[in-house]
Amino acid sequence: MYKILKYLVILAMFSSCGLTDLMPSPTKQPLEEDTRPEDSPPPIPDVFTLLDIPIHDPLADFSDEYKEDCLKKIFLRCPPYTEYWIAEAWLDVCDNNSIIDISNCKWQHDCDPLDPVITENQPCQTEDGGPGIQDVYCDKGKVQLTECSPCTEEVCDGKDNDCDGDIDEGDYTCETICGIGPAYCVDGRLECEAEGPGEEICDWLDNDCDGLTDEGQRNACDGCGPLPEDYCDGYDNDCDGKIDEDLIRECETVCELGYETCVLGQWVLCTAQPPWPEICNGEDDDCNGLVDDGIDCECKIQDVGILVPCFEDPLICGQGYKACECKTAECTEFQMTPCQPACAIFNTQPCDPIYGMITMEVCNNWDDNCNFLIDEGLTKSCYSGPPETLNVGECLPGILTCYAGQWGSLVPINISGEVFVEDYCDGEVLPQEELCNGKDDDCDGVVEEELQETDIVFVVDLSGSMQQEIDAVISALSAFSLSYQDEPNISWSLVVGPYYTITIHKETLQLKTNLGLFSSFLASVQSLINHPLNGGYEPLYDAVYLAINDVCDPNSLEYSTSELVWKFTNISDPPIPNFIINWREDANKVIVVFTDEPGQSFLSQAGTSNTYADAITQEIVVNAINGTEGLKVFVFSPEDTKNSTGAKYMNGAWATLYTGWEPLTMAGDVGQWYILSNDFNVMFSNLMEVLEDTACAPTSE
């Protein structure tokens, strides 16, 4: 009973102290009169008098093993709570957490070191007497003050910077690469709500905030979404370089359905049979539902016995005959006999009644020569242009082919196949608008524009990343050069690279063909078809610089070729001193670059380390172009290389490196930048613009 009473007294003490509070100077208090029955346990005192506990070692009665396993020391808080008083206590966890001993309360700290922040943004006075704010905090049990900071403009830091009693109040802004927008201060930190970069989509906006709009998103017509359909209107609606191509639609006459083709914006050449004047052939020629109506088709008495050639059933091939014969004994009515071979009519043996006489094949939907083929190999010349232009200038006739007894041609109708179009003259060249190509395009016997002497150097990137575009580049170059193969005023050159050579472990920039005849140039271009694309260090700024080094004003050159060496990764063929383009003195000078990379340099100044190389910068190339008389530069490259930049570490800091291609095209006599495409037709059309811009001039009078 005594043990239970003691435990209840201790619990009462903990209850009055909040389980952690003991007075620093406890005193003994009298108990109220006990009026309970005798068999009731004694009441729990309101205050436990520590002075009544004998001073002895409370743990002496326990073994070391029991102490280790069951006894636990704890610390309890004592009031007042403005100071830090604690009492030490021992619990027996093996006896329902009974309390073995409690010490007197002792003063420990001025403040709670576990709760270091006491007061924030407390007003204070600075050394010069001005208003300020400071924090009150607990440092190792001691109350401390931060330095009194003068009132300043409010910022988002969880402090009352302007000493007005409010924390982090006001309007805030923030900035992303997309611009300035609102921000909100939350717990001393700015939450930025300004618009951030998103995925680029085709909407005429710069969604990813890189300074470019819809890059890589627009279609060939520079629009958003699918390409528009091609219409029969004389325009290239789908921007593939062709006008009204492969446009076929149904047409109809009173006789039947057919197809018609779009030519120069007009629907023409309907294959449906038109109505013809009725003739005696047992057919409804005028398509009015009546056979041989309105005409006298009966043979007369004077026609009896006359043989008429025929090519029809029941014969299966060859020519037969039919005759007019009397239909009655009185010979008052007449009829035509079935078509029979001559042997059957004249009763000669041997005779096969289904084979007619073999004749020359003609376009009649019949096997005239009995070789089990119908209208095979039958063609004839055609021309639908003005007769006076035939075989004048570029105008040439086409070919009509016989198919099922009709003259025409097979015309592609998209990927599904071909359709036969009656009277379609395949391959004819009709008069066109006069172009600057040294040819008589309008077929009037006069060449209105002639080509000036022009030297064209093509620089083609052969790095591994050109896999998608190289076929279109080769095809466009081949077709473009073939269009001008007979023009002596144009000289052609080809520079290619880089390509990796495993035997020397370097990448080569090669002057493959110097300026000269078309035939050598075309052979070099076509040799690229099987050329490996394995380079990775594209020295194309270097290629342009080396190409004009020999003809540029020396005052515009940063380096002569004798002052340059290749980085250890690259070489050139021929070597730098011999890398000379044989420009003609009075010819227009044109450089055309095809690449999918930003401008790069792998040349170093002689006498410096060839480990890091970018001696030829954009500015140096632009100055050299400006210093070369009569030079125009054209570049085909991706949108993101048009005005691109990079970074270079120099003089202990990062500096901007300009790597774009458009500035080169704006230098000199001003060329043009084009987007690099994998569409042969687009690049071919652009190359034609290049020649129009460089080599064309009015005819001398």
Which is higher by pLDDT, 579 or 313? 579
Considering the domain architecture, whether residues 646 and 582 belong to the same structural domain is answered as: yes
Q: What is the pLDDT of residues 134-182, one digit of tens each?
A: 888 888 777 888 888 888 888 898 888 888 888 888 888 888 888 888 8
Considering the domain architecture, whether residues 22 and 81 belong to the same structural domain is answered as: yes
Q: Where are the beta strands (DSSP E) in 539-687?
A: 564-566, 570-573, 588-594, 603-605, 631-637, 645-650, 653-658, 672-675
**Is residue 633 a contact partner of residue 589, using CB atoms and an 8 Å limit?**
no
Q: What is the pLDDT of residues 424-434, one digit of tens each?
A: 899 999 998 87
Question: Among 271-280, 385-394, 550-559, where is mean pLDDT lowest?
Answer: 271-280
Q: What is the pLDDT of residues 12-62, one digit of tens each?
A: 343 333 333 433 433 333 434 555 556 555 554 554 444 454 556 777 888
In a domain, 517, yes or no: yes
What integer pLDDT is reported at residue 341 of this predicted model?
A: 92
What integer pLDDT is reported at residue 280 of this predicted model?
A: 67
Question: Which two three-digit tokens encode residue 388?
Answer: 């006076």
Residue 379, beta-bridge partner list: 401
Considering the domain architecture, whether residues 124 and 66 belong to the same structural domain is answered as: no
Tell me how far the alpha carbon of residue 609 is from its chain's centroid.
38
What integer pLDDT is reported at residue 610 of this predicted model?
A: 55
What integer pLDDT is reported at residue 457 of this predicted model?
A: 96
**Which of 92, 125, 150 is at the close of a domain?**
150
In a domain, 136, yes or no: yes
**Which of 50, 81, 109 is at the close of a domain?**
109
- How many residues does this entry show for the chain? 701
Q: Is the pLDDT of residue 647 over 80?
A: no
Which is higher by pLDDT, 292 or 283? 283
Q: Is the pLDDT of residue 190 over 60?
A: yes
In a domain, 353, yes or no: no
Handedness of CA 669, 670, 676, 680 (dihedral sign): negative
Q: What is the pLDDT of residues 576-623, one digit of tens each?
A: 999 999 999 989 999 999 999 999 999 998 877 655 557 899 999 999
What is the pairing mode between strands 179-186 and 172-176? Answer: antiparallel
Considering the domain architecture, whether residues 461 and 497 belong to the same structural domain is answered as: yes
Q: Per-residue confidence at 496, pLDDT binned at 50, 70, 90?
A: very high
In a domain, 26, yes or no: yes
Q: Is the pLDDT of residue 438 over 50?
A: yes
Considering the domain architecture, whether residues 89 and 134 belong to the same structural domain is answered as: no
Q: Is the pLDDT of residue 10 over 50?
A: no
Considering the domain architecture, whether residues 77 and 132 belong to the same structural domain is answered as: no
Q: Per-residue confidence at 665, pLDDT binned at 50, 70, 90?
A: very high
Rounded Cα gap, residues 217 and 197, in angstroms: 16
Share of the chain above pLDDT 70, in %: 86
* Total tally of structural domains belonging to the chain: 4
Rounded Cα gap, residues 549 and 276, in angstroms: 74
Q: Is the pLDDT of residue 4 over 50?
A: no
* Interval 273-296 mean pLDDT: 72
* Interval 428-441 mean pLDDT: 80
Question: Which two three-digit tokens encode residue 197?
Answer: 């970069």
What integer pLDDT is reported at residue 19 of this predicted model?
A: 36
What integer pLDDT is reported at residue 29 of this predicted model?
A: 38
Which is higher by pLDDT, 301 or 544? 544
What integer pLDDT is reported at residue 48 of this predicted model?
A: 46
**Which of 130, 150, 170 is at the close of a domain?**
150
* Interval 496-504 mean pLDDT: 88
Considering the domain architecture, whether residues 140 and 25 belong to the same structural domain is answered as: no
Q: Which range has the top average pLDDT, 297-301, 324-328, 370-374?
A: 370-374
Considering the domain architecture, whether residues 413 and 459 belong to the same structural domain is answered as: no
Rounded Cα gap, residues 125 and 130, in angstroms: 6
What integer pLDDT is reported at residue 38 of this predicted model?
A: 60
Residue 163, beta-bridge partner list: none
Share of the chain above pLDDT 90, in %: 24
Q: Per-residue confidence at 699, pLDDT binned at 50, 70, 90?
A: very low
Which is higher by pLDDT, 312 or 33? 312
- For the chain, the average pLDDT equals 82
Q: Is the pLDDT of residue 412 over 70?
A: yes
What integer pLDDT is reported at residue 441 of this predicted model?
A: 82
In a domain, 439, yes or no: no
In a domain, 87, yes or no: yes
What integer pLDDT is reported at residue 82 of this predicted model?
A: 63
Considering the domain architecture, whether residues 477 and 592 belong to the same structural domain is answered as: yes
Query: Range of 538's domain?
Result: 452-698
Tell me how far the alpha carbon of residue 541 is from its chain's centroid.
24
What integer pLDDT is reported at residue 78 of this predicted model?
A: 79
**Is residue 247 a contact partner of residue 262, using CB atoms and an 8 Å limit?**
yes
C-alpha distances (whole Å) from 526 to each of 492, 523, 534, 640 are 14, 5, 18, 29
**Is residue 201 a contact partner of residue 218, using CB atoms and an 8 Å limit?**
no
Secondary structure element (H or E) that encloses residue 287, with its range = none
Q: Per-residue confidence at 653, pLDDT binned at 50, 70, 90?
A: low
Considering the domain architecture, whether residues 28 and 12 belong to the same structural domain is answered as: yes
Considering the domain architecture, whether residues 529 and 645 belong to the same structural domain is answered as: yes
Question: Which two three-digit tokens encode residue 672?
Answer: 């043009």
In a domain, 540, yes or no: yes
Which is higher by pLDDT, 402 or 221? 402
Considering the domain architecture, whether residues 588 and 693 belong to the same structural domain is answered as: yes
In a domain, 238, yes or no: no
What integer pLDDT is reported at residue 613 of this predicted model?
A: 59
For residue 498, give the CATH number of its domain: 3.40.50.410
